[in-house]
Amino acid sequence: MRSVGTLRQVALAMMRVGVLGYGGGPSVIPLFRHEVVTRLAWMDDAAFAETLALGYALPGPIATKMAAYVGHRAAGGVGAVVAVTAHILPTCLATVALLSVFGSLEHLRVVRDMIAAVVPVVVAMLARMTFDFAVRTKRSLGWKNGALSMVVACGLLAAQVNSALVILLYLGFGAARSHIQRAFAALRANGGRRS
Amino acid sequence: MNLLHLMWAFFVANALGYGGGPASIPLMQDQVVHGFHWVTNSQFANILALGNALPGPISTNVATYVGYLVAGWPGVLAALVATIVPSAAAFVGLRSLLARHSRSGLVRGMTELVQPVITVMMLLLTLQMSRTAIGGVGVWQFVGIGGLSLFAMIRWRLHPAFLILGAFAYGAFVMPLASG
């Protein structure tokens, strides 16, 4: 593949997205789009939208997948490594710095109070994410199947089945489901032709 | 050994987290709190808070934090590689293959069916964290801070980073007064 950008461009663009993107993966997507489509014109809007959709089809953080792909497209394998590194390095350093500060002050009453006071905010954040995921479940599976699959998952997790195993189980069923549906559709189509 | 455990924990959490970074949060918690006992629920809540108050992807922030806590800089590297490399390499390498299969419905069927599990795990994590929060600040402050946060996020669309800073300020200045 011909390189469309320099490593320097890749590094600067991905660092900007990383430093300016507050609030985790999904909130940085518009920033990616701005750098890659608008400013550097490495992809058009349609290609960007397709890449994003495909990115969500794979597990793992979306931002690092996007950074790797953009870097690879612009400057090959080295570009991918540079892009991901530039994207996360500033925050990584800040995280470790904060951790060290907190760690050395943890014995202080004030810091313990600060740490305790932030947990309810995290609960609110998690509650909101739960709601978002519930809405997504309803949108893709519908009320009945969505609720049923959630109740079953809840039962499995309550019975102490390993969470990774539960996900693998659902993934397997999801993969099989499309095959089963296709087999049924083919059967019906054949039946229709014969009669 | 710790490095291998770190890699395993973050590989599992991110390889199964469909739907972007947030989907991995309950999986990461399961690994680092229940699986390997590296951090407590309250520590994990604070990691999430700081990870959210800082820019950058939440999964890599959590990986950095826990990796550093468990094994210093080598730990950071191990946790980050396990978080990023499998999915990023798969994405770069398999994009064209993926494009074909996403139309066939196989990939869609899989990602759609993972969502209910993630929803339930997220719900259970929310309940667990509520218990931790009540243990830390008591029922009334939990309801007050949590309720106000939820309201501010939904009604005023306030970014969580401000709420986290606000909660830190509350813990630093108001809570010492209340407890004398």
| In-domain check, residue A1 | no
| In-domain check, residue A78 | yes
Tell me what the pLDDT averaged over chain A comes to: 87
Residues A52 and A101 in one domain: yes
Q: Determine, for residues A61 and B87 on separate chains, whether the beta-carbon distance falls below 8 Å.
A: yes
CA distance A137 to A146: 6
Residues A143, A144, A145, A149, CA torsion sign: positive
| Domain of B136, in residue numbers | 2-178
Q: Which of A63, A98, A133 sits opposite B122 (nearest CB)?
A: A133
Residues A72 and A35 in one domain: yes
CA distance A151 to A161: 14
Q: State the total domains in chain B.
A: 1
> How many CB pairs (< 8 A) connect A and B?
349
Question: In terms of C-beta distances under 8 Å and separation of at least 24 residues, what long-range contacts does B169-173 make, across chains too?
Answer: B170/A117, B170/B145, B171/A110, B171/A113, B171/A114, B171/A115, B171/A116, B171/A117, B171/A118, B172/A110, B172/A113, B172/A114
pLDDT of amino acid A192: 56
Residues A35 and A111 in one domain: no
Interface test with B, best of A1, A163, A171 (most B CBs within 10 A): A163
Q: Determine, for residues A128 and B91 on separate chains, whether the beta-carbon distance falls below 8 Å.
A: no
The H-assigned helical ranges of B16-159 are 21-29, 41-53, 58-104, 106-154
Residues A153 and A172 in one domain: no
pLDDT of amino acid A115: 86
Cα of A179 to nearest chain B Cα, Å: 8
pLDDT of amino acid A60: 87
Residues A49 and A11 in one domain: yes
On the 0-12 / 13-18 / 19+ scale of CB atoms within 10 A, B172 is middle
When pLDDT is cut at 50, 70 and 90, the band that residue A1 belongs to is: very low
| Domain of A82, in residue numbers | 7-105
Q: Averaged over A118-141, what is the pLDDT?
A: 91
| In-domain check, residue A139 | yes
Cα of B142 to nearest chain A Cα, Å: 6
| In-domain check, residue A126 | yes
Q: Tell me the residue type at A195.
A: S
Q: State the total domains in chain A.
A: 3
Judged against a pLDDT cut of 70, whether residue A2 lies above it is answered with: no
Q: What is the ipTM of this complex?
A: 0.88
CA distance B25 to A43: 31
pLDDT per residue of chain B (180 residues) written in tens, 0 to 9:
799 999 999 999 999 988 777 889 999 999 999 999 999 999 999 899 888 888 888 899 999 999 999 999 999 999 999 999 999 999 998 887 877 776 666 777 777 888 899 999 999 999 999 999 999 999 999 999 999 999 998 899 888 888 989 999 999 998 888 765
| In-domain check, residue A70 | yes
Residues A35 and A90 in one domain: yes
User: pLDDT: is B146 or A115 the higher one?
Assistant: B146
Cα of A31 to nearest chain B Cα, Å: 12
Interface test with B, best of A108, A122, A135, A149 (most B CBs within 10 A): A122
When pLDDT is cut at 50, 70 and 90, the band that residue A195 belongs to is: very low
Q: Averaged over A2-8, what is the pLDDT?
A: 77
Q: Which two tokens stand for residue A31?
A: 């920033």
pLDDT of amino acid B150: 93
Output the pTM of the full model: 0.87
Lowest mean pLDDT among A148-157, A179-188, B3-12: A179-188
Question: In terms of C-beta distances under 8 Å and separation of at least 24 residues, what long-range contacts does B38-42 make, across chains too?
Answer: B38/B66, B38/B69, B38/B70, B39/B66, B39/B69, B40/B132, B41/B128, B41/B129, B41/B132, B42/A115, B42/A116, B42/A119, B42/B132, B42/B135, B42/B136
Q: Which of B57, B64, B86 sits opposite A25 (nearest CB)?
A: B57
Judged against a pLDDT cut of 70, whether residue A194 lies above it is answered with: no
When pLDDT is cut at 50, 70 and 90, the band that residue A5 belongs to is: confident
Residues A51 and A140 in one domain: no
Residues A65 and A82 in one domain: yes
Residues A101 and A18 in one domain: yes
B56, A36 contact by CB (below 8 A): no
Residues A119 and A146 in one domain: yes
Residues A169 and A156 in one domain: no
Residues A59 and A96 in one domain: yes
pLDDT tens per residue, range A31-90 = 899 999 999 999 898 889 888 888 888 888 889 999 999 999 999 999 999 999 999 999
Q: Averaged over A89-118, what is the pLDDT?
A: 88
